[in-house]
């Protein structure tokens, strides 16, 4: 792989020259938040949505905002440009910084600046993914994460474990279940389709408020589709006509099997296909 240019605390550097402190609270305590913005046609998809959620995550954790929003957009665009990204993503992480020691108490923001890291990932073929044509298979796992999943923190150990449980079972991903209801996928929001109704869990502290979710539900409503924001069970998913997931990097991805049971025909359905098409078309038009 060619050497990327990445961004660390005000500097654009070759990736092998970028460093952060061993005392960084992101490293020691997962005290950090992140965003992933996809890039299509060399442009950022829904940057404003990601910037807004980032601000909310920082606020919920009492973390100072390190840079004005136009600066973050400039950095995103510059990394896309210098790394020649046409299809891919920009990863952004902000941590509470490196106070020079390990302590549970938050450092004084006047003396400890946040750490800001951004890098790109090149993903040619992101749109034309084979998985979107054949659909993915999921299994259910208990949702063992903390109770503030609405904050996009870098504590991703349990979602990683869920992904590994899925891989070990020979499937693509896991849907997490709490109190008998699906919360979300390891790194995506979960949906089922009953007839012409799209059902996805309501917002709350139990799930991440997906930027793709917000856009897809808006487009669905604009296209006169019925949307129900409520929780659903694995049995409902197995009996549904269709299922799918959304995320910034998967867009709309059909789910064709849940816990070994085919959903609908066992092939991607028309609602997910239509939503993927609308989402890609509309978000590319609005890309910056
Ligand atoms: N839920 C979780 C747990 C996630 O990690 C993600 C992706 N970061 C999503 C949902 C989807 O969010 P978005 O559409 O903003 O990528």
Q: Pick the atom of ligand 1 nearest to 50's CA.
A: 15
Q: Pick the atom of ligand 1 nearest to 214's CA.
A: 14
210 lines ligand 1 (CB under 6 A): yes
Output the CA–CA distances (angstroms, integers) from residue 74 to 70, 82, 180, in the order listed: 6, 12, 44
- Half-sphere exposure of residue 14, counting CA atoms within 13 Å on the CB side? 5
216 lines ligand 1 (CB under 6 A): no
| Domain 5-122 grouped into CATH 3.30.470.10 | yes
Alpha carbon nearest to ligand 1 atom 9, residue: 188
Q: Could you tell me the pTM of the whole model?
A: 0.97
Q: Which of 160, 163, 208, 215 to mutate to test the pocket of ligand 1 (most atoms within 8 A of CB)?
A: 208
Superfamily of domain 130-286: D-amino Acid Aminotransferase, subunit A, domain 2 (3.20.10.10)
Residue 200 contacts residue 160 (beta carbons within 8 Å): no
Q: Residue 16: pLDDT above 90?
A: yes
Looking at the DSSP assignment, which residues form a beta bridge with residue 119? 91
- Residue 123 is a catalytic residue: no
Residue 242 contacts residue 264 (beta carbons within 8 Å): yes
Model pLDDT, residue 128: 93
The model's pLDDT over 22-62, given as tens digits with 9 standing for 90+, comes to 999 999 999 999 999 999 999 999 999 999 999 999 999 99
Q: Do domains 5-122 and 130-286 have the same CATH topology?
A: no
The model's pLDDT over 83-111, given as tens digits with 9 standing for 90+, comes to 999 999 999 999 999 999 999 999 999 99
187 lines ligand 1 (CB under 6 A): yes
254 lines ligand 1 (CB under 6 A): no
Distance between first and last Cα of the chain = 27
Model pLDDT, residue 164: 98
Coil, strand, or helix at residue 107? coil
**Pairing outcome for strands 173-178 and 136-142:** parallel
Q: Residue 1: pLDDT above 70?
A: no
**SS3 letters across 46-99:** CHHHHHHHHHHHHHHCCCCCCCCHHHHHHHHHHHHHHCCCCCEEEEEEEECCCC
Model pLDDT, residue 2: 81
Residue 37 contacts residue 248 (beta carbons within 8 Å): yes
The model's pLDDT over 183-207, given as tens digits with 9 standing for 90+, comes to 999 999 999 999 999 999 999 999 9
Q: Residue 152: pLDDT above 90?
A: yes
Which residue of the set 43, 59, 123, 152 is catalytic? 152
Report CA torsion sign: 89, 149, 145, 28.
positive
Domain ranges in the chain are 5-122, 130-286
Report CA torsion sign: 128, 129, 134, 139.
negative
Report the distance separating Cα 275 and Cα 286, nearest Å.
16
């Amino acid at each position: 792989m060619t050497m990327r240019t990445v961004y660390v605390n005000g500097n654009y550097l070759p990736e092998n020259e970028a460093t952060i402190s061993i005392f960084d609270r992101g490293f020691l305590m997962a005290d950090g938040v992140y965003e992933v913005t996809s890039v299509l046609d060399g442009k950022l998809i829904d940057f404003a949505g990601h910037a807004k959620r980032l601000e909310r995550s920082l606020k919920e954790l009492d973390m100072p905002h390190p840079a004005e929003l136009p600066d973050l957009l400039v950095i995103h665009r510059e990394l896309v440009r210098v790394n020649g990204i046409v299809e891919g993503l920009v990863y952004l992480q902000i941590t509470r910084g490196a106070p020079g020691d390990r302590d549970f108490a938050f450092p004084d923001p006047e003396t400890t600046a946040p750490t800001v890291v951004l890098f790109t990932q090149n993903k040619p073929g992101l749109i034309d993914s084979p998985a979107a044509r054949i659909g993915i298979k999921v299994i259910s796992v208990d949702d063992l994460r903390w109770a503030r999943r609405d904050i996009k923190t870098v504590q991703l150990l349990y979602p990683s474990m869920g992904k590994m449980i899925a891989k070990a079972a020979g499937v693509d991903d896991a849907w997490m279940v709490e109190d008998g209801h699906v919360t979300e996928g390891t790194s995506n929001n979960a949906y089922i389709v009953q007839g012409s109704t799209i059902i996805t869990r309501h917002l709350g502290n139990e799930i991440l408020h997906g930027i793709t979710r917000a856009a897809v539900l808006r487009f669905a409503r604009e296209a006169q589709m019925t949307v129900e924001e409520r929780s659903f069970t694995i049995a409902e998913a197995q009996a549904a006509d269709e299922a799918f997931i959304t995320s910034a990097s998967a867009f709309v991805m059909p789910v064709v099997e849940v816990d070994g049971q085919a959903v609908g025909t066992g092939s991607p359905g028309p609602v997910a296909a239509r939503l993927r098409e609308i989402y890609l078309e509309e978000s590319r038009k609005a890309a910056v």
